Amino acid sequence: MATAEKSCLSGQYEKGVVVLATRPYPDHVFLVELAVAPAHQGRGLGRAALSRALATAQESGAASVWLVVSNGNVPAIGLYRASGFTPVRRLTSCHWARRP
DSSP string, 31-58: EEEEEE-GGGTTSSHHHHHHHHHHHHHH
Instruction: Count CB-CB contacts under 10 A for residue 14.
Output: 7
Model pTM score: 0.72
Q: Which CATH number goes with the domain that contains 53?
A: 3.40.630.30
Closest to 47 in 3D by CA, of 14, 85, 15? 85
The answer as to whether 12 is a domain residue is: yes
Does residue 95 form part of some domain?
no
Instruction: Confirm if 32 and 4 have CB atoms less than 8 A apart.
Output: yes
Full domain range(s) for residue 47: 5-82
Instruction: Classify residue 52: in a domain, yes or no.
Output: yes
Q: Taking CA 77 as the corner, what is the angle to CA 74 and CA 78, rounded to the nearest 5 degrees? A: 85
- Does 39 map to a domain? yes
> Does residue 96 lie within any of the structural domains?
no
pLDDT per residue, tens digit, the chain (100 aa), is: 233 343 333 334 444 577 777 888 888 888 888 888 888 889 999 999 999 889 988 988 889 999 888 888 899 999 999 999 999 888 776 767 677 7
- Total domain count for the chain? 1
Position 100 in a domain: no
Domain membership of residue 90 (yes or no) is no
Q: Which helix (H) or strand (E) holds 18?
A: strand 18-24
